[in-house]
Amino acid sequence: MYQWTKRDLDDMEVRPIEQAETIPAHWFTHPDMDKTDRQLILAKSWQYVGHESQIARPGDYLVDDIIGRPILVVRNQSSDILCFSNVCRHRGGPLATKSGSARMLRCVYHAWTYNLEGALVGAPKFEGVENFNKQDCTLPRYRMESYEGFLFVNFSGDAPPLAQHLAGIKETIKPINLSDMRFYKRVVYEVSANWKVYIDNYMEGYHILPVHPGLAKILDVSGYKTTIEGSKVLQYGPLAGEDNPYHTGGAAYYYQVFPNLMLNILPGRVQMNSILPIDADRCLTVFDFFFSETDVAKLDIRAKDDLEISDVVQKEDIWICELIQKGLKSGTYDKGRICVQEERGVWAFQNNLRDAYRNLATGKN
Residues that bind ligand FES (CB under 6 A): 88, 90-93, 107, 109-112
Please identify, using beta-carbon distances, which residue of 198 and 357 lies nearer to Fe ion: 198
**Is the bond into 24 cis (omega within 30 degrees of 0)?**
no
Is 236 within 8 Å of 253 (Cβ atoms)? yes
Residue nearest to Fe ion (CB): 317
Size of the site for Fe ion (CB under 5 A): 1
Strand order in the sheet with 282-291: 182-191, 282-291, 269-279, 261-266, 251-257, 232-238, 225-229
Buried/exposed 79-110: b ≥16 CB within 10 Å, e otherwise: eebbbbbbbbbeeebbbbeeeeeeeebbbeee
Minimum CB separation of residue 70 from ligand FES in Å reads 13
Give the shortest CB-91-to-ligand FES separation in angstroms: 4
Nearest residue (CB) to Fe ion, 37 versus 317? 317
Partner from ligand FES, Fe ion, none contacting 195, C-beta within 5 to 8 A by type: none
**Residue with smaller CB distance to ligand FES, 30 or 110:** 110
Residue 93 near which of ligand FES, Fe ion, none (CB within 5-8 Å, type-dependent): ligand FES
Q: Where does this chain touch Fe ion (CB under 5 A) — which range of 25-33, 94-102, 270-278, 315-323?
A: 315-323
Q: With contact defined as beta carbons under 8 Å apart, do 113 and 122 qualify?
A: yes
Q: Which segment (63-71, 253-261, 314-322, 355-363) binds Fe ion by CB under 5 A? A: 314-322
Q: Is 204 in the site for Fe ion (CB under 5 A)?
A: no
Q: Distance between CA 195 and CA 34 in Å, rounded?
A: 9
The item of ligand FES, Fe ion, none sharing an interface with residue 317, based on CB under 5 to 8 Å by kind, is Fe ion
Using the minimum distance from each CB to ligand FES, give the nearer residue, 69 or 90.
90
Q: Does 64 bind Fe ion (CB under 5 A)?
A: no
Based on the shown chain and the rule CB under 5 A, indicate whether residue 343 belongs to the binding site for Fe ion: no
User: What minimum distance in Å lies between the beta carbon of 217 and ligand FES?
Assistant: 54
Nearest-CA neighbor of 137 among 150, 120, 121, 153? 120
Q: Which of 8, 11, 306, 317 binds Fe ion (CB under 5 A)?
A: 317
Decide which of ligand FES, Fe ion, none touches 110; Cβ closer than 5 to 8 Å per partner kind: ligand FES
Region at 241 (left for phi over 0; alpha for psi -120 to 50; beta for the rest): left
What secondary structure does DSSP assign to 145-189, as a single string? EEETTEEEEESSS-SPPHHHHTTTHHHHTTTS-GGG-EEEEEEEE
- Give which of Fe ion, ligand FES, none residue 106 binds (C-beta under 5 to 8 Å, depending on kind): none
Nearest to 65 by CA among 44, 81, 49: 49
Q: Which is nearer to ligand FES, 31 or 92 (CB)?
A: 92
* Chain centroid, CA 6 distance in Å: 31
**Interface with Fe ion (CB under 5 A):** 317
